[in-house]
Amino acid sequence: MARIIFFLCLALSLNASAFTLNAEGKYCQIEGAYTSDGESVYGEFYMYSNDYGEADGAYTDGGDSVSGECYRYSERYCELEGAYTSEGESVSGECYIYD
C-alpha cells in the first residue's frame, strides 16, 4: 500500500512540475539584464526548444550586439547564461516568454 501511495505522489509531482506552455518557436523578451559594466541590455531570445533559447537581436544601450543562451526555469521565466557582448563583457539577467 505504501508503494502505491509513493508512486501516486511521484506521478502527481512530476505532472505538476511540467510546463503547460510550449515555448519552442516563441520569443523571450529581455527584462532586467545588464552587462558587467552596468549597461542595460534589450531585445529578445528565440526559443529553439521548450527549455533553451539563443539571443536574437539583443543589444546594449551603446549598440553592442549580445550573444548567448537562455534556459527556462519556470512557465515563462528564463535566465541568461553564457551571454556576452561583442566587446566581450559578460551579460546577466532574465527574459520572459511571450505568445
Question: Which residue bears the cell 515563462?
Answer: 76
DSSP characters over 21-43: S--TT-EEEEEEEEETT--EEE-
- Answering whether pTM is above 0.85, one says no
pLDDT at 14 over 70: no
* Rounded-to-integer distance, Cα 37 and Cα 21, Å: 34
- The pLDDT score that the predictor gives to residue 2 is 55
Residue 3: its pLDDT value, please? 60
Q: What is the 3-state secondary structure (H, E, C) of 46-82?
A: EECCCCEEEECCCEECCCCEEEEEEEECCCCEEEEEE
- The pLDDT assigned to 19 comes to 77
SS3 83: strand
* Res 87 pLDDT > 60: yes
State pLDDT tens for residues 30-85.
999 999 999 999 999 999 999 999 999 999 999 999 999 999 999 999 999 999 99
Binned at pLDDT 50, 70 and 90, residue 99 comes out as: confident
